[in-house]
Structure 1
């Protein structure tokens, strides 16, 4: 009998895909703390395409200083999550693509259901997480994906990353998340978890925009 590992396990929270909810910041899943920040990356189709390619090849995580190991392609359609309308209401389940693609260095692209291990240190915070990609969106002007924690030890929740080309041709990168504390230090001192989330998000945004110094709107 094969021993179960995290690739066999679902994410450890119920609100799968809720980083898409329009009202996430006002009404996060119960017990979770939301956070979001965004930055303009430039403008034009070429900038959108290059940023999207970087996003889907794990460049955000690696550029933030993390290692992305044990990438395993997903199977089936169990972790698609729900697509949300602009008013925050839930629509249809997200269709999952099983097509496997690779970056120039052979790294598997992000795909729905993919599992991986993230580990490393960003500032004073150490990150060691098993994650599963819960949705992937590839549309003409939007490329986005999110992953959730699997068997989390420090925190539990979901991170999403979105590249958008707006009507004025500007290209934006947005990072959103909702997390609940698991480690004792974060449960006893909630500001530490907020500080951790801000530091991680800053590192993610800087990975695509080295000039980033603070959240934009």
Structure 2
């Protein structure tokens, strides 16, 4: 369940930004979370109705583009900017206190269309998984507003490969939290 007082976005430390800026994404199928999910990965494609109308769409889109899905799900975020931008570096933290695992990513796309807004980020070295995750707010022809999460991933480290069943359960739980983050 999302935290009542979701954490704010913290600035990404300059030394981390410099180190991550030189890193390449850990997968080849850049942008595929917004299109056909590629073979050879585990897939997530889930959506949840979050409201109706233009105001709800605009408010939800602003939250998504301000890292609100992540912070609303109770995750910590260290980002270059408080609002998502293509090419931005981000670290998403999962866990508690000193037991927090930071997962580095780069924003690979930002979508700003009349009925669809959101972004996708891809994994960088140091992330336990290899792949991409996208977060979109869609407004359909019936004026319904949906939050959609799409992802593809596979283990990116030895420990995530060895713990794959547990990692998949954690991913499913985090996706549930993402889908409730804008409530």
Same-fold call, TM cutoff 0.5: yes
Q: Aligned-pair distance for 1:185?
A: 4.1
- The aligned residue for residue 47 of structure 2 is 38
TM-score, L = length of structure 2: 0.82
Do residues 136 (structure 1) and 150 (structure 2) align? no
Do residues 51 (structure 1) and 73 (structure 2) align? no
Q: CA 1:176–1:127 in structure 2 vs 1: closer, same or farther (change >3 Å)?
A: farther
Do residues 14 (structure 1) and 14 (structure 2) align? no
Contact kept, 8 Å, 2:31 with 2:108, in 1: the verdict is yes
Q: Aligned-pair distance for 1:189?
A: 4.4
- Matches of 2:111 and 2:127, distance apart in 1: 28
Aligned-residue Cα RMSD (Å) equals 2.2
Q: Which runs of 5+ in 2 are unaligned?
A: 1-14
Q: Which runs of 5+ in 1 are unaligned?
A: 73-106, 210-217
Q: Aligned-pair distance for 1:196?
A: 1.8
Aligned partner (choices 164, 172, 182) of residue 146 of structure 2: 172
For this pair of structures, how many residues does the alignment match? Answer: 166
Q: Find runs of 4+ consecutive structure 1 residues off by over 3 angstroms.
A: 183-186
* Higher relative helix content: 2
Do residues 190 (structure 1) and 157 (structure 2) align? no
Alignment of 1:32-181 (within 5 A): 32-69=41-78, 71-72=79-80, 108-121=82-95, 127-181=101-155
Contact kept, 8 Å, 1:65 with 1:121, in 2: the verdict is no
- Matches of 2:101 and 2:44, distance apart in 1: 17
TM-score, L = length of structure 1: 0.70
Deviates more, 1:148-157 or 1:49-58: 148-157
Contact kept, 8 Å, 1:12 with 1:152, in 2: the verdict is no
Q: Which structure has the bigger radius of gyration? A: 1
Q: Aligned-pair distance for 1:127?
A: 4.1
